[in-house]
Amino acid sequence: MSELDKMQTGELYDFTAPEIVASNRHAQRCLERFNRAGVDDESARRTALEELIPGIPATATIIPPLFCDHGHPICIGDGVFINGGATMLDSGGIAIGDRTKIGPDCKLLTPQHPLDYQERRKPVERGLRIEIGEDCWLGGNVTVCPGVKIGSRSIIGAGSVVVRDLPDDVMAAGNPAVVKRALR
């Protein structure tokens, strides 16, 4: 199994392997073009974004700057809006459901480093997939930790750190984020 295959299946992988480095470099080239495109050059920005995130719907909007590791493990639904300053460390994969809104400076972090300090000395990690349901709203500066699932129609308050799964139809906030109330 290749290191890229291991990364995509959530297994421990070597992030210094040539294929991982090449994937990251490709993403960085796309991000450079995306983030640098002028406000009046929507065509160049869109072309770079579609190369970075294959299959991104035409109805999805990402405001620059955007930062990510690979791009291809990100799956974005129709009508998604992601405000500027988003950081998506995407080695474990990130799925964002239709019509979800993500505020400025949000961080979606999938890498999980080994807990044992001796293992952590090695250039290895695993990626734990993040899933965000449909019609969600993440306020500004929300951090979503590795492996977290946020249910559809849920709202996460600005500045929150989501460390555990959250169900559908809740409002959660805090560090760590906790459910404050049901929305239905």
Residue positions annotated with a catalytic role: 113
For residue 48, give every residue at least 6 positions away whose Cβ sits within 8 Å of its Cβ, in sequence order, or none.
Answer: 30, 31, 33, 34, 37
Strand 107-109, strand 170-174: pairing: unpaired
- DSSP code string of 122-175: SSEEEE--EEE-TT-EE-TT-EE-TT-EE-TT-EE-TT-EE-S-B-SSEEEEET
Long-range Cβ contact pairs of 57-61 (< 8 A, separation 24 or more): none
Look at residues 60, 71, 64 and name the one whose alpha carbon lies nearest to residue 28: 71
Distance of CA 144 to the CA centre of its chain: 8
CA–CA separation, 24 and 131 (whole Å) = 22
Containing 57, the helix (H) or strand (E) segment is none
